[in-house]
Structures are given as C-alpha cells and as structure tokens.
Amino acid sequence: MIFKKRQTIETAEAGLKETELEEALKNFRLSVHAWSDAEFARPRMVALRHRHWNWRLATGWALGCVLAMGSISAGIFVHHRQQIREQLAHLAALRQEQQRQLAAQQAAAARDDDARLMAAVDKDVSQDVPTAMEPLAQLMNENANQ
C-alpha cells in the first residue's frame, strides 16, 4: 500500500518535472525566436564592421611586427655587446700577461745587474788589498772557513 502510494507520488513528480521541462523548452524556443526576429529586423552596417576589423587586424599585425623586430634587435644587441665584452676581457688578459712577463724580465735583469756589480766590487776590493795586508786577509779567510 505504502509502496503503491510512493510510486504514485514519484510518477506525479516525474510528470510535473516533464511538464516543467516542456514549458522551459517552449519558453526557450520562443525566446530565441523573439531575439532572432528582433535582431534580423534591425538594420546592420556589416561593411563598416568589416573595415573596422581590418583596421584592428592591421594594427595587430603592425604591433606584432614591431614587437618581433624589437625582440630580435634586442637579442642581436645583447649578443653583440657580450662579444665585445669578451674581446675586451681577452685583450686585457693579454695585456696583463705581457706586463707580467715584462716585470719578470726586468726583475731578472735587475738581479743580474746586482750580481755583476757585486762581482766587480769584490774584484776591485780584492785588487785594492795592499800586499802588506795579504797575510791578514788570508788569516781572515781561514777563520771564516773554520
């Protein structure tokens, strides 16, 4: 009994839903027809719109080209600048290496000059020792050797 009652209620609800759906679909159809009829009757300037669209398209293309050119130019500029920077760094490194070598050569030359001067002084000093002092000088050398 309860089952039958529930079934009746469900059937009634389903019927109600279907009626509502049918009504919604009918209203939808009428709405679309009303909208379409109103728009269809309205005069339209398609040519103007087309021209406007062309203008917009052309502007879009121009802007796109400018952006693309800008990006490419910026890329080339950055690449070029990097290359110059690398070349400058290379030149600086070469110059530094040359300076370092020159300094080393100068230092070596200075060392040789000192040695030569000392040798000359020694020679001159040894030649200047008087004969009377030679035994004393020998004694000093011996002491130094011991």
Contact set with other proteins (CB under 8 A)? 17, 20-21, 23-25, 27-40, 44, 46, 49, 53, 56-57, 60
Number of Cβ within a 10 Å radius of residue 117: 10
Q: With respect to other proteins, which residue has the nearer C-beta, 38 or 132?
A: 38
Q: With respect to other proteins, which residue has the nearer C-beta, 22 or 113?
A: 22
Minimum CB distance to other proteins, residue 53 (Å): 8
Minimum CB distance to other proteins, residue 8 (Å): 20
Q: With respect to other proteins, which residue has the nearer C-beta, 9 or 109?
A: 9
The Cα-based distances of 75 to 47, 69, 118 in angstroms read 42, 10, 64
Minimum CB distance to other proteins, residue 64 (Å): 8
Q: With respect to other proteins, which residue has the nearer C-beta, 5 or 42?
A: 42
Minimum CB distance to other proteins, residue 42 (Å): 8
**Contact partners, residue 89, CB within 8 Å, separation at least 6:** none
Tokens of 135: 């035994």
Helix (H, G, I), strand (E, B) or coil at 38: helix
Alpha helices in 42-133 (DSSP H): 46-128
